[in-house]
Amino acid sequence: MKVYLSVDMEGVTGLTDPEEMHAGGRGYERGCELMTADANAVIEAAFLRGAEAVVVNDAHSSTKNLRVDLIDPRCTLIRGPYKPMRMGQGLDASFDAACFVGYHACAGTPNGVLNHTWMGKEIQNVWINGEISGETRLVAGYAGSLGVPVVLVTGDEAVCEEARALLGDVETVAVKKGIDKFSAELVPPARAQEMIGEATLRALDRRADFRPYTIEAPYTLAVEWNSTAIAASCANIPGVRLAGPRHTEFTTEDYGDIMALFGIFSMIAGTVACSSGVYG
């Protein structure tokens, strides 16, 4: 059995503050330790259930957040920026199960801790084939295009609700309950990581119950940006069309193109926003 982990940070046990999400911020180093501990809870359970290989993808921001010195030595770790498939890097059809750890709800979700979709202020909304999509749907769609089912999602209560609405009876672990975007009622780390391990065991025990989440091709990705400048810049990418002052659209038969395009979008949007000061 091969198990794949995509590990984000906003939904990690104990974290609520934007400062904790970025290198140099207050609490970031401790946040990396907590992120690694959540991942390790899944890895340990996977090997307890007989996994032959566990591949972990650091899927947050710089993708250099998981502590290499603290990660379970039995796994392999994918880290570093500019990975072609970003949050789905390393995933292929050979995996039996995918787990999403530390995920968060899509942009605009009430009481979703650190809710956003792919970027922070730059992206207002994302749709795939006309359906609003957060990162859970985006990455689950990629896994499904490869025939890999998502069996576990951990994060706050809001993303767990989002995952169940999307994926059905998927195992979920809510490690915090959002009060607002930047505050939450937390499950202490020791108990939260125990819950994550228990849920992973349950998920892998019944992995035959899960089916890949599939979106019918062709795939149309629509993005509502916060800026006309970002939309216009992204529309210069071949195949991307301007569908409104702040909207872009892109259609493809290959879901991998969606994942790759988001990486390019992020670089362009980040550059425009960062060079625009208060207007970004």
Tokens 């503050």 belong to residue = 17
Distance (Å, whole) CA 156 – CA 144? 23
Distance (Å, whole) CA 155 – CA 142? 20
Known binding-site residues for Zn(2+) equal 8, 10, 60, 104, 135
CB-based contact 12:28 (threshold 8 Å): no
H or E stretch covering 222: strand 219-225
Helix (H, G, I), strand (E, B) or coil at 95: coil
* Catalytic-role residue among 116, 137, 176, 247: 116
β-strand partners of 219: 252
Known binding-site residues equal 8, 10, 60, 104, 135
Phi, psi (deg, nearest 5) at residue 40: -65, -35
Q: Which two three-digit tokens encode residue 3?
A: 């198990």
Query: What are the Cα distances from residue 210, in Å, to 51, 142, 152, 171?
Result: 17, 16, 10, 10
Question: Is residue 116 among the annotated active site residues?
Answer: yes
Helix (H, G, I), strand (E, B) or coil at 4: strand
Sheet holding 76-78, edge to edge: 76-78, 53-58, 2-7, 97-103, 150-156, 171-180, 183-186
Phi and psi based region of residue 205 (left: phi greater than 0; alpha: psi -120 to 50; beta: remaining): alpha
Tokens 């084939």 belong to residue = 129
Q: Active-site positions? A: 116
